[in-house]
Amino acid sequence: MAEFDEIINIRRSIREYAKKDVNDEDILKILKAGMQAPGSRLGAEPWEFVVVKDRDTLVRLGEIKPRVTNAPVAIVLVANIERAFYKTVWQQDMGAACENMLLEAVNLGLGALWNGVAPDEERMTAIGEIIGIDDITNLKPYSIVTVGYPAEGWENKFMDKFDESRIHYEKY
């Protein structure tokens, strides 16, 4: 297992996957990592997850988010607003869960991609319809995390994104 700082540093958006299945134990670990994220209110986190492995469904999702088509598994993150205490910050809650999932994928030797869905309501509605949500008022498809073994040339690797000019001390 890699050191945590290494995981953060080598995580890359992996958009192409090898033709190899991801085992259910690893998928569960990724879901657990998502649920370990900070949320705006402990016990009232909005996140729910739809795990999709069915090829036809992946292809349909891929018509809206093209990178989903060839992934062995896609996890649709859904914000259930009825679960949330602070109902206006669901996108922050979901973002925290999403990033945790990407990092756990790297930790497991996998690659993952954050496929953006929210806040585009047309896209949220279209994704919702495919996974069985017919009304996005309270159940909001937020993103799709695709997971798989990276295809050749798509390995996780360090890329230096540090930019000192973004840092301000004491005042902007």
- The H-assigned helical ranges of the chain are 4-10, 24-35, 55-62, 90-107, 121-131
Contact of 96 with 37, CB cutoff 8 Å? yes
Neighbours of 149 (CB within 10 A): 18
Contact of 100 with 34, CB cutoff 8 Å? yes
- Contact flag: residue 13 with ligand FMN (CB under 6 A): yes
User: Between 35 and 64, how does the x/- string for binding to ligand FMN read (CB under 6 A)?
Assistant: ------------------------------
- Contact flag: residue 69 with ligand FMN (CB under 6 A): no
**Degrees (nearest 5) of the Cα angle 14, 37, 122?**
60
Site for ligand FMN in 93-132 (CB under 6 A): 113-116
**For the chain, what is the largest distance between any 2 Cα atoms, rounded to a whole number of angstroms?**
53
Instruction: Quote the tokens at residue 30.
Output: 């990724």
The amino acid occupying position 80 is N
CB of 142 to ligand FMN, least distance (A): 9
CB of 171 to ligand FMN, least distance (A): 28
- Contact flag: residue 9 with ligand FMN (CB under 6 A): no
Q: Which residue is at the shortest CB distance from ligand FMN?
A: 116
Q: Cα separation of 83 and 15, whole Å? A: 32
Part of the chain binding ligand FMN (CB under 6 A), chosen from 8-16, 40-48, 53-61, 78-86: 8-16
CB of 67 to ligand FMN, least distance (A): 5
- Contact flag: residue 87 with ligand FMN (CB under 6 A): no
Which residues bind to ligand FMN, rule: CB under 6 A?
Answer: 12-13, 15, 65, 67, 113-116
